[in-house]
């Protein structure tokens, strides 16, 4: 008998529990940096040349595009300051071990509680050769803790070992740091309640299709949540 699964992307769940209220410039900067490091890591696998300059140009182009799309105007001096910041952070990234990692395939986290089966699509920023995941934040998560980061990490940590990678600034220079996030399947109780509400943007997919299309992690609740190989 076919099993239908209510599935949604992780960002919908995170947005429902911890809406972001960052100013537009900070949001645009984060998207620009994320795009630049993803492109940098991918293309650096195919060349021995430094791609730092190209990564910088990519980041600035995305930053300008995001600001334009949001209808936000910034002064030329503010844009120059953000450009300098991008360069310094990219230089720190260039020296870090994370440049060796690529973005993983989208995974699906499947959960069964009673008769209900739900799932979240999940794709952290990077994965290494031994199955550890890395989610990168363009700010210092220790100095600027954000609830949406905590909620997102709670989901991603159910895929496997997860590290939050972030940037610490001192005197205008940046150091790349990481923080391990232990997995806690109990967060799935809240995820199930979210999916049961059939939120806008969710969909229903056959279980077999999900299992055949995406790498998966399966959790079943009996007396407590536990990871298993099948529903």
DSSP character string of 63-87: HHHHHHHTT----HHHHHHHHHHHH
CA 55 to mean position of chain CA atoms: 19
* The pLDDT of residue 102: 95
Contacts 24+ apart (CB under 8 A), 94-97: 94/40, 94/50, 94/52, 95/176, 96/176
* The pLDDT of residue 136: 98
- Closest Cα partner for 127 from 158, 96, 161, 104? 104
Confidence of residue 230 (pLDDT cuts 50, 70, 90): confident
* The pLDDT of residue 51: 84
Positive or negative: CA dihedral 93, 98, 99, 105: negative
* The pLDDT of residue 47: 76
pTM: 0.93
- Condensed to tens digits (0 to 9), the pLDDT of residues 156-188 reads 999 999 999 999 999 989 999 999 999 999 999
% residues pLDDT > 90 (the chain): 91
């Amino acid at each position: 008998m076919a099993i239908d699964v209510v599935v949604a992307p992780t960002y919908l769940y995170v947005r429902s529990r911890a809406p972001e209220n960052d100013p537009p410039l900070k949001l645009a900067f984060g998207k620009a940096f994320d795009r630049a490091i993803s492109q940098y890591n991918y293309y650096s696998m195919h060349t021995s040349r430094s791609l730092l300059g190209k990564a910088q140009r990519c980041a600035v182009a995305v930053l300008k595009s995001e600001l334009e799309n949001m209808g936000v105007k910034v002064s030329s001096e503010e844009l120059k300051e953000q450009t300098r910041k991008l360069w310094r952070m990219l230089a720190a990234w260039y020296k870090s071990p994370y440049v060796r990692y690529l973005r993983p395939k989208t995974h699906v986290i499947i959960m069964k509680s009673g008769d209900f089966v739900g799932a979240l699509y999940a794709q952290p920023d990077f994965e290494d050769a031994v199955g550890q995941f890395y989610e990168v934040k363009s700010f210092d998560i220790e100095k600027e803790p954000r609830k949406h980061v905590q909620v997102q990490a709670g989901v991603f940590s159910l895929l496997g070992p997860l590290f939050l990678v972030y940037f610490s600034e001192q005197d205008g220079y940046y150091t790349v740091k990481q923080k391990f996030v232990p997995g806690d399947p109990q967060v799935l109780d809240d995820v199930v309640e979210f999916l049961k509400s059939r939120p806008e943007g969710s969909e229903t997919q056959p279980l077999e299709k999900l299992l055949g299309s995406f790498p998966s992690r399966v959790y079943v609740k009996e007396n407590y949540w536990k990871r298993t190989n099948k529903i």
